[in-house]
Structure 1
Amino acid sequence: MRIPKLQDLILFENDDLMVVNKPPFIASLDEREGGEVSMLRLARQYCGDAQICHRLDKETSGCLIIAKNPAAYRLVAMQFERRKVKKVYHALVNGTHTFEDVHVNLPILNIGNKNVSISRQDGKAAETIFNSLKYYKHYTLIECQPITGRMHQIRIHLATQRACIAGDDMYGGESVFLSKIKRVYHIAKDEEELPIMKRFALHAKQVSFKIDAENEVTVEAPYPKDFATLIKLLDKFDV
């Protein structure tokens, strides 16, 4: 995998903070099992005191807020704690689903080893709002607004609505293959068809937060190449 330069990922920057478009397959923080690169390491090569203000799953792309100094980190951390940061994600899900301001309010329990479950008894409060953006024959593009920030929140909340994210095999999602959406599709006998997107289809599209006591910023991240290609093929073959 080609390791990107942080400068090429920056969507917003001032003296204290930056928002980057995190590529898929790069962890937000250093992983216990090692690994060559993380967003934290890339950020600290660019700015020695950099701190990651929140996490995105390794496969998730999109808006990631990075503080350049401890005061800026505290400013953003307090906004997350008070649920003042507005986050908007786009997810492509299997099947047709009509969501109009659907509030899913189901507590999430972290059961360890990067796994979570819904637990009304022991889970922590978790709320997400879903709206359908675009309908295809076999899929739906969903706008997701997590009010809380639990691990795997959007993924498991969508799964509870039987709207699993495409490619998210942990929560029942099936990958998108060109053979499923294109009427005439041929593959050589000895070749194995690969999914259009080699990860689950979740992208942190937009983030809004205060950069100081008075000023708020809204930053939007364009789709990375794999997500953009998937949408382009669906627009062409699955309408």
Structure 2
Amino acid sequence: MIESSLYTADIPDELGGLRLDQALAELFPEFSRSRLQDWIKSGCVQVNGKALRAKDKVMGGEAVELRAELQDSGDDQPQDIPLDVVYEDASLIIVNKPAGLVVHPAAGNWDGTLVNALLHYAPELAAVPRAGIVHRLDKDTSGLLMVARTLQAHKVLVEQLQARDIEREYLAVVQGTMTAGGTVDAPLGRHPVDRKRHAVREDGKPAVTHYRVLERYPHHTLVRLKLETGRTHQIRVHMAHIHYSLVGDPVYGRLRLPAGAGPDLTETLRGFRRQALHATRLALAHPEHGDLCEWEAPMPDDMSALVDALRRAQEEGGAL
């Protein structure tokens, strides 16, 4: 069965000069570029009321209409994987994702993902793009993630995300003692050498992260972060950029043991093998009735144990 849904957007000025398919990939990140190219070829995309080719350049400011034709997916298989569902109704599911769970199937992780779990939990998600997932969390980032249960809900949530109307807040433990909160406004793009990494680049996409201090320790800080944008690895790259890399981050940081750290703290820091990052709060306008909805998920056990060890070390003077 094929269903269609109409998406509209204005191409922002900063995307001027890109190919149409590249601009659409930025505007509609929930769809793959190959799928967008197919829709362009089949006439499902109108730019200022006209059909263009995928390679045609956009200027910025054009009005885009995308009629997304979506077919039931038979590629990803349902799997009975436990889910921590914190809320659900006819149009929305909010999941508290554990660290270690991959969100989308990809090379090296073709099953055992959140998508597989969702297709088992709610089979109707097979008819929604990417099983209803409209934003991502890294494999080793825990916390709240929203899932659209219907095509209409998916459309509304994507529009909210693009308009930056969805509030996403995170907890993180960083290396170094921050004196105050602040904002990182630094564009992000692919690392020029290592394509698996991202980096601050002058020619990157706009990215803004706000952070405030919750607790200070002699050599670490517990912070709460709020995203304005949702770029890949945004928090991890931004914190490393200002020299406060996340504890346990295997890509953008390295283990730094404080001088004089006791055995308890040393063991805890050495044993923390993922970035200390948790999506703790999510707030959005409900896609059906528009009322403000918000959810909070406390830190998972491993991050709580990390914070407890830092507090004990501070009290005992073991990390001074």
Give the alignment of 1:199-214 within 5 angstroms: 199-211=274-286, 212-214=288-290
The answer for the alignment partner of 1:64 in structure 2 is 145
- On the 8 A contact 2:171/2:278 being kept in 1, the answer is yes
Q: CA RMSD in A?
A: 2.5
1:166–1:180 distance in 2 versus 1, CA, 3 Å: farther
Indicate the structure whose relative CO is greater, using CA pairs within 8 Å and at least 6 residues apart.
Answer: 1
1:19 and 2:94 aligned: yes
1:215–1:20 distance in 2 versus 1, CA, 3 Å: same
The answer for the alignment partner of 2:5 in structure 1 is none
1:230 and 2:306 aligned: yes
Q: Write the distance in 2 (CA, Å) between the matches of 1:94 and 1:34.
A: 30
**Given the alignment, which residue of 2, 20, 32 partners 2:107?**
32
Gaps spanning 5+ residues in structure 2: where?
Answer: 1-79, 126-130, 316-320
1:10 and 2:85 aligned: yes
Counterpart residue identity of residue 118, structure 1: V
Query: Between Structure 1 and Structure 2, how many residues are aligned?
Result: 227
Alignment TM-score, normalising by the size of structure 1: 0.86
Gaps spanning 5+ residues in structure 1: where?
Answer: none
Counterpart residue identity of residue 150, structure 1: R
3-state SS of 2:248 partner: coil
Alignment TM-score, normalising by the size of structure 2: 0.66
Structure index of larger Rg:
2
- On the 8 A contact 2:269/2:306 being kept in 1, the answer is no
Counterpart residue identity of residue 113, structure 2: S
**Given the alignment, which residue of 74, 78, 81 partners 2:162?**
81
The answer for the alignment partner of 2:293 in structure 1 is 217
Which shows bigger deviation, 110-119 or 205-214? 110-119
Give, in angstroms, the shift of residue 174 of structure 1.
2.1
- On the 8 A contact 1:130/1:145 being kept in 2, the answer is yes
**Given the alignment, which residue of 112, 130, 140 partners 2:221?**
140
Give, in angstroms, the shift of residue 175 of structure 1.
6.4
Give the alignment of 1:150-229 within 5 angstroms: 150-174=231-255, 181-182=261-262, 195-211=270-286, 212-229=288-305
Give, in angstroms, the shift of residue 180 of structure 1.
6.2
The answer for the alignment partner of 2:135 in structure 1 is 54
- On the 8 A contact 1:86/1:208 being kept in 2, the answer is yes
